[in-house]
Amino acid sequence: MSIRLSTGGRLIDRTQTLSFTFNGVRYQGYQGDTLASALLANGQTLLGRSFKYHRPRGVVTSGAEEPNALMNLGTGARFEPNQRATTTRLFAGLEARSQNHWPSLKYDVGALNSALSPLFSAGFYYKTFIHPRPFWKHIFEPVIRQSAGLGAAPTQGDPDTYEHYYATVDVLVVGGGVAGLAAAREAVAAGARVLVLEQGEAWGGRALVDGGDIDGHAPDLWAAQTVAELAQEGAQMRLRTMAAGVYDHGYVLAYERIADHTPGDGRPRHRLWRIRAGQVVTATGAIERPLSFAGNDTPGVMLASAVRDYLSLYGVACGERTVVVTNNDDGYRTALALVEAGCEVPAVLDARPDHDSDLVQQARAAGLRLLFDTGVKKVEGGAHIQRVIAAPMSGNGPSETIACDCLAMSGGWSPVVHLWSHCGGKLLWDDARAMFKPDLTRPPLGAQGQGFVVPGGAASGALLAHEALEDGANAGRDAVRALGLSPASTPLAQVNAQTDETPLRPVWIMPNGADYALRSKAFLDFQNDVKVSDVQLAAQEGFESVEHTKRYTTLGMATDQGKLSNINGLAILADALGKPIPQVGTTTFRPPYTPISMGAIAGEARDELFKPTRKTPMDAWHDDNGAQWEPVSDWRRPYTYTRSGESMDQAVTREILNTRQNVGLLDASTLGKILVKGPDAGAFLDLIYTNMMSTLRPGRCRYGLMCTENGFLFDDGVVVRLNEDTYLCHTTSGGSDRVHAWMEEWLQTEWWDMKVYVANVTEQYARVAVVGPQARTVLERLGGMDVSREALPFMAFSDGTLGNIPARVHRISFSGELSYEIAIPASQGLAFWQACLRAGEDLGIQPYGTEALHVMRAEKGFIMIGDETDGTVIPQDLGLSWAISKKKDDFIGKRAMERSHLASPDRQQLVGLLTENPKTVLPDGAHAVEGGKLPGDAPRPIGFVTSTYFSPTLGRSIAMALVERGSRRMGETLAFNTAKDVWVRAKIVDPVFFDKEGARQNV
Amino acid sequence: MLLLTCPYCGVSAEETEFHPGGEAHLTREGPGTKNDAFEAYLFYRKNPRGVHFERWRHVYGCGKWFHVARCTQTLEVFGSYSAQVSEPPEEILTKIKDRRPDWSDAP
């Protein structure tokens, strides 16, 4: 039974009691507790159920590497699953629930899986759920979906705010232990700008527990003093900030948990630091490894360092009788600390032969019973450990049963090399210490080819406090030198906790020669329930690569990313393959080091800030007048303007008929406008467009097409020539940025000798189309310039004023009606729009939206980029051969059109379609199918619908389609498949459905 | 995220301030060229593991296109230079050979 001792606990404040709940039951903890330490203080050792077998699990560690103690935290909108109790700071009112069990933590139906575990060996998904086929949909999938996953997903929107923060520093120190602080001191002393990040709640790292005295002070005091000095010298110091990943050229992401322990206090909950560092010192410490023996996942079996941490930092004894099992000297520290705190330690099991290091001598002096060459054969107890079966490491010989309620295990330490490895730092296997550590000769490289990460302290393999401090200081000096600064000579702090240690004995399975029954209860990955036997089975089945074995067994693929399991697992794999460990290698380390919130990644980029909407100068008027919005690239445009009691379809019909009969008004401000200017502007546009632009006369407009080098049509629009050396190119609404960039690219990278400038002036102008038989009357009433047929013929433009507003008036038409498109300065767009409405009021003027625009252009057979084109369509397919110059030597796409496939007469071509039933509107994209009537004649699609509407003008449906050899199929009837076994018959006709002669627009 | 320097405005900035444009120093094949040459111009790229010449645009800065010589394996940047040249300048080649004595730009 774990309990709070009456004294001790460096990090807790016993004068401040905090009340919290776990599974609905109220408990008390202290200020400074983690959720895990507070639960242990209350005797709660059963904290969850495992993922696959639903085995009872308790807390194993005291830090970020925790695999088991995952909690659902909070309620309602602040509910969050899979939070590690070991890194969750306790606060008053915290609500935690355990995960992965039903109906309760104590009684769990899923635990049946454990009894069936032989069925759930490595790769069982792949082997089991294959036959019979119908089982998959009706049995396997629903059951797996019900039982898969750990925590529950939140159901409400996140009420908290998050932010990004940018920092540029000379030296980033990751880790606030003695090594990190020593490195920071060196960097600050040399005059570097320094940022120090510590993921935990306190400075000092492991030294708080194992550091003895530093410079004559308790380690927490030394750390506090050093931190204060560093801050004084200008270093930025951040607690609760985890460096999540190291990226190219010194880019680092870090995750600061600002308000997790003060929910709803108005501060951003998390902050994502986006750091550019000259040098990164990774003083990230080391993680203790578990030992692999049967029942090593039973609640009460913990890392020896964690047992020591809870005792020393939180005044919590994880058991009343604690057995220690170790393969190295470090385990003795736990035994000694427990004895000193008055806890019972019935035995220390040391896998090594009898030896006499400093710590062993101290243990003997403390009267501890030491069993050498001995390991744990098995742990017994269900929801909590009750006894340990100790046995000789050889696997032979008498075993001994030792009653206990806690087992502290130490399998040696693994440096935290994640950040070193993220961007390409390589590792070395240190055989003497059985650990991977950074290969200092092969660091990740920066822009100049220099190494930019320096590991320091335990992260570099310097495990003991005094070693770590010295190594950290050296790392700081190395970083400073790499930046071209000179290290100052600062005296090294002195640690009084030096010991001579006996090397560890690598132990990957305990005891040697453990039989299958034992190996199949010896867990490597606690969170994903991967056992020693699973990895051995994978090796036996031919999974030789560690990356394959990982995926086959799911070793290291849980939310803890294998922080405890990877080294043990690959050692087992290496043994099974008969290869040395370095030859098997590690899996790839990938960011983030521990999970970070989606909120932090998004930062402020959510809701309306996620992607700002582009709005025209008349946007507010539309919004006030019934606009139903439609997104058009980054813009929003009115799809239609509904009146009270009117459906969208009715509104569109009204707008079309009114425009064709009276006069309509369209906000066309989104139209792209690119100014092209210079002595070579005409020659340049001749290369950009398929047709000739250099022959266009000033004052005239010409429709033009743009193709890619592949010959495919990608944008279209009207080009106007303002004067001898200036053109204005209109593009599609969505295409203006793309076309502008396209022109810049060709000008800068291919035809850089041409004297041409281009500028995107899209937002400088508002644009209003006045369309319909009464359009001219409206403009004449505004007054200021001659807009008559003679002065301003079709495809001409003129500059002047209308109603005292500067205007460029174009006689172009996308509807087939008499139409003026008027460009005015953006600032006067709304005024001009309202002036038109007033001038046309008695003529029945009404605004129309994009849907009416689309229907009217389809009635005229005009193509729309993105409807009639899809990136594989060439102008010839659309009957636009007239717009492809035969006189020009070159234009973009010309060479491609020489290819046989693009010149083929069998290509799909644009046609019009009239359904046999005029009321039937074909669905967009419906396919026409040919063949299939005779045996051996497979049906195949020969074309598809590209635009389809009900035309109010014609009182019937119309459609356009791309059909194989379409231009030679006029009058043919095709069947379009619209649903399973439903066919709609339609006749192929000319795509111009209305006023083919253009009589209406040429008035 | 790479750090790149725009040779026009001299700014060193985050990769996100730039836009990549693929392999540099391609020769455009216009009308009348052989099919093989045109196919290679449109579709074939070197994609080396090692020294590479790339096009980048300072899209959220001065807007200029430029070239970068860098190592795709180690992420070292040897230098950036004008886009308005048809082969890497001598100065850049020297920088590359200083750090990659065995490298050869022969196709």
d(CA A403, CA A319): 12
**Strand, helix or coil at A713?**
strand
Query: Which pLDDT belongs to residue A114?
Result: 66
Cβ–Cβ contact A885 with B under 8 A: no
| Residue A151 confidence (pLDDT) | 72
Q: Do B75 and A899 touch (CB under 8 A)?
A: no
**Tell me: the pLDDT tens digits for A513-534?**
899 999 999 999 999 899 999 9
pLDDT value for A136: 62
Are A193 and A170 in contact, with CB atoms under 8 Å apart? yes
Tell me whether A608 touches chain B (CB under 8 Å). no
Over residues A956-984, the mean pLDDT reads 95
Beta bridge partners of A945: A961
* A249 near B CB under 8 A: yes
For the segment A653-673, what is each residue's pLDDT rounded down to a tens digit?
999 999 999 999 999 999 999
**C-beta atoms of B31 and A250 within 8 A:** no
pLDDT in tens, B3-45: 999 999 999 999 999 999 999 999 999 999 999 999 999 999 9
Q: How many CA atoms lie within 13 A of A614 on its CB side?
A: 16
Does any CB of chain B come closer than 8 Å to the CB of residue A901?
Answer: no
B65: closest chain A residue by CA: A748
Q: What is the share, in percent, of chain A residues with pLDDT greater than 70?
A: 95
Residue A831 pLDDT > 70, yes or no? yes
Angle ∠(A239,A245,A249) on CA atoms, nearest 5: 115
Average pLDDT over residues A536-540: 94
Mutate which: B41, B42, B62, vs A, most A CBs within 10 A: B42
Sign of CA dihedral B14, B15, B21, B24: positive
CA–CA min distance A593, chain B (Å): 18
Contact A748 B65 (CB under 8 A): yes
A761 in B contact zone (CB under 8 Å): no
User: A449, B2: Cβ pair inside 8 Å?
Assistant: no
Pick among A895, A900, A901, A902 to test the B interface (most B CBs inside 10 A): A895
| pLDDT of A172 strictly over 60 | yes
Q: Which residue of B has its CA nearest to A752?
A: B84
- b/e per residue, A847-856, with b = 16+ CB within 10 A? bbbbbbbbbb
Q: A702 is written with which tokens?
A: 């010409």
Contacts of A860 (CB under 8 A, 6+ apart): A814, A815, A816, A992, A993, A994, A995
Residues of chain A in contact with residue B67, where contact means CB-CB under 8 angstroms, are none
Instruction: Check pLDDT > 90 for residue A699.
Output: yes
Summarize the confidence of residues A478-492 as an average pLDDT: 92
Q: What is the DSSP string of A378-393?
A: EEE-SSS--EEEEEET
Q: Is B63 left (phi over 0), alpha (psi -120 to 50) or beta?
A: left
A744: nearest CB among B31, B63, B75: B63
Mean pLDDT of chain A: 94
Q: Does A890 touch chain B (CB under 8 A)?
A: yes
Res. A50 pLDDT band, cuts 50 70 90: confident
| pLDDT 10s digits, A297-343 | 999 999 999 999 999 999 999 999 999 999 999 999 999 999 999 99
Q: DSSP states of A283-323 as a string?
A: ---EEEPP---BTTTSTTEEEHHHHHHHHHHH-EES-SBEE
Contact list in A for residue B55 (CB cut-off 8 A) is 749
Confirm or reject contact between A247 and chain B (CB < 8 A). yes
pLDDT at A162: 97
Bond into B88 cis (ω within 30): no
d(CA A121, CA A534): 6
A735/A718 Cα distance (integer angstroms): 13
CA-based nearest residue in chain A for residue B31: A895
Residue A341 to residue A406: CA distance in whole angstroms: 15
Are A129 and A140 within 8 A, CB to CB? yes
Exposure string for A43-80, b = 16+ CB within 10 A, e = fewer: ebbbbbbbbbbbbbbbbbbbbbbbbbbbbbbbeeebbb
Contacts of B77 in chain A (CB under 8 A): 447-448
Which chain B residues touch A if contact means CB-CB below 8 Å?
1-3, 14-15, 21, 28-33, 35, 38, 41-42, 55, 57, 59, 63-65, 74-77, 83-84, 99
DSSP assignment string, A213-282? -BTTB-HHHHHHHHHHHHHHTT-EEESSEEEEEEEGGGEEEEEEE-STTSTTSSS-SEEEEEEEEEEEEE
pLDDT of residue A153: 82
Residues B75, A744: C-beta atoms closer than 8 Å = no
pLDDT band at A596 (very low <50, low <70, confident <90, very high): very high
Contact A449 B99 (CB under 8 A): yes
| More confident of the two residues A212 and B56 | B56
Percentage of chain A exceeding pLDDT 90: 88
State yes or no: pLDDT of A122 exceeds 90.
no
- For A151-168, write each residue's pLDDT tens digit: 778 889 999 999 999 999
Alpha carbons A954 and A918: distance in angstroms, whole number: 10
Closest CA to A173 of A419, A412, A525, A449: A419
Tell me what pLDDT residue A119 has. 60
Q: How far does B106 lie from chain A, in Å, by closest CA?
A: 23
Residues 6+ apart with CB under 8 A from A930: A939, A940, A941, A942, A974
Q: Please state, in angstroms and as integers, the Cα–Cα distance from residue A432 to each residue in A325, A326, A501, A504, following that order.
A: 20, 16, 12, 8
pLDDT tens column, A713-746: 999 999 999 999 999 999 999 999 999 999 999 9
Instruction: Provide the pLDDT for residue A930.
Output: 86
Residue among A250, A251, A895 whose CB faces B29 most closely: A895
Chain A CB contacts of B35 under 8 Å are: 899
Best to test chain B binding among A166, A688, A749 (most B CBs inside 10 Å): A749
Quick one: CA dihedral A757, A763, A764, A769, positive or negative?
positive
User: How do residues A335-370 score in pLDDT, each as one tens digit?
Assistant: 999 999 999 999 999 999 999 999 999 999 999 999
Cα separation of A623 and A625, whole Å? 6
CA A417 centroid distance within chain: 23
For testing contact with chain A, the best of B29, B76, B81, B97 (most A CBs within 10 A): B76
State the count of interchain CB pairs (< 8 A) between A and B: 73
- Does the beta carbon of A748 lie under 8 angstroms from any beta carbon of chain B? yes
